[in-house]
Amino acid sequence: MADASARDARSSGFGSGTLSVVYALYFITGATALVFEVLWTRSFAVVFGNSTYAMSVVLAAFMGGLGLGALAFGKSSTGAATRCVSSP
């Protein structure tokens, strides 16, 4: 497993240190999103009086945001992926 990730790092042009930073950033942003989700759920539980409704609203907003982001940036990112793969 470690050999495959090292091979992927060499073939993509990124060093293992760069990939470690990227993985750390993914972890930090994911943990931050989870913290905010819990905070919004607790805040909405006070408003709605029920945590089931609060969780439904927070989950719908989170998934809606992911969908809108994919819609907005999906078309513009396809050219960037092609350029990254074709660069020497």
Residue 42 has pLDDT above 60, yes or no: yes
Task: Give the C-alpha separation, 37 to 33, whole Å.
Answer: 6
State the pLDDT confidence band at 85, using cuts at 50, 70 and 90.
Answer: low
Residue 36 is predicted with a pLDDT of 92
Residue 7 has pLDDT above 80, yes or no: no
Residue 83 is predicted with a pLDDT of 56
Q: How many CB atoms lie within 10 A of CB 15?
A: 11
Nearest CA-CA partner of 3 in 16, 13, 14: 16
Residue 57 is predicted with a pLDDT of 92
What distances in angstroms separate CA 56 from CA 2, 19, 25, 45, 64, one per listed residue? 39, 35, 28, 10, 12
Residue 4 is predicted with a pLDDT of 56
- Across the range 51-69, mean pLDDT stands at 91
- Across the range 24-41, mean pLDDT stands at 93
